[in-house]
A and B are shown apart, each in its own frame.
Chain A
Amino acid sequence: MRAVARIVAAPDGRGGTSLPTLAGEPPLLVRRTGTRQPGVPADVHLVGGAAGPLGGDRLRIEITVESGAALVVRTVAASIALPTPHAHGRPDTSLVEVHATVARGGLLHWLPEPLIGAAGCDHDAVTRVDVADGGTLVWRDELVCGRHGEDSGAVRLHTTVRYADRTLYRHDLTVGPAAPGWSGPAVLGGRATGTLIVIDPAWSDGGPPPATPLGDTAAAMPLPGPAMLATAVGADLRAVRAPLERARQLTSAAA
Chain B
Amino acid sequence: MTTAAGSLATLLVLADGRLPAGGHAHSSGLEAQVSAGRIRHLADVDAFLRGRLATGGLVASAFAGAGCARTHAIEDLDFAFEVRTPSPALRHASRAQGKALFRAGRAMWPAPALHRPDVHQPVALGVVAAAAGLAPEQAAVAAAWHTISGPASAAVRLLGLDPYGVHALLARLAPDCDTIATKAMTYLEKSLDDLPADGAPLLDIGAEHHATWEVRLFAS
Q: Please list the residues of chain A having a beta carbon within 8 angstroms of any beta carbon in chain B.
A: 158-160, 167-174, 179-182, 184-190, 193, 195, 210-213, 216-219, 221-224, 229, 231-233
Contact = CB atoms under 8 A, between A and B. Distances in A.
27 contacts: A169-B83, A170-B80, A170-B83, A172-B198, A172-B199, A174-B198, A180-B50, A181-B53, A182-B51, A182-B54, A184-B47, A184-B50, A184-B51, A185-B47, A185-B202, A193-B201, A213-B208, A213-B212, A217-B202, A218-B205, A219-B87, A219-B209, A221-B87, A223-B86, A231-B201, A232-B201, A233-B205
3 pairs of A and B residues whose beta carbons are closest in the complex: A181-B51, A186-B51, A184-B47
- Greatest chain A CB density within 10 A among B53, B54, B199 is at B199
Interface string B16-55: 0000000000000100010010110000100111111111
A222 B88 contact: yes
A162 to B, nearest CB: 8
B51 A180 contact: yes
B220 to A, nearest CB: 13
Interface of B: 29, 33, 36, 38-39, 44, 47-55, 79-80, 82-84, 86-89, 176, 192-193, 196-205, 208-209, 211-212
A159 B199 CA distance: 11
A190 B205 CA distance: 13
A216 to B, nearest CB: 7
B160 to A, nearest CB: 18
A222 B89 CA distance: 11
A186 B48 contact: yes
A231 B86 contact: yes
Given A181-B55, A211-B89, A231-B205, 9 more contacts: A167-B83, A170-B83, A172-B196, A186-B47, A186-B200, A190-B202, A213-B205, A221-B208, A222-B88
A233 B36 CA distance: 13
Nearest to B44: A185
Contacts of B192: 167
Given A180-B50, A187-B51, A232 B86 contact: no
A186 B203 CA distance: 6
Interface of B is mostly: helix
- Greatest chain A CB density within 10 A among B33, B89, B202, B212 is at B202
B80 A167 contact: yes
Interface of A is mostly: strand
Contact of B197 (A170, A185, A233): A170
Nearest to A170: B197
A222 B87 CA distance: 8
Contact of B48 (A167, A181, A222, A231): A181
Nearest to B37: A185
Contact of A232 (B84, B176, B205): B205
Nearest to B52: A186
B23 to A, nearest CB: 17
A179 B80 CA distance: 23
A158 B194 CA distance: 10
A59 B124 CA distance: 40
A219 B202 contact: no
A229 B79 CA distance: 17
Nearest to A160: B193
Nearest to B40: A185
Contact of B33 (A170, A185, A190): A185
Contacts of B54: 174, 179-182, 187
B29 A186 contact: yes
A186 B44 CA distance: 10
A213 B47 contact: no
B66 to A, nearest CB: 14
A172 B197 contact: yes
Nearest to A222: B88
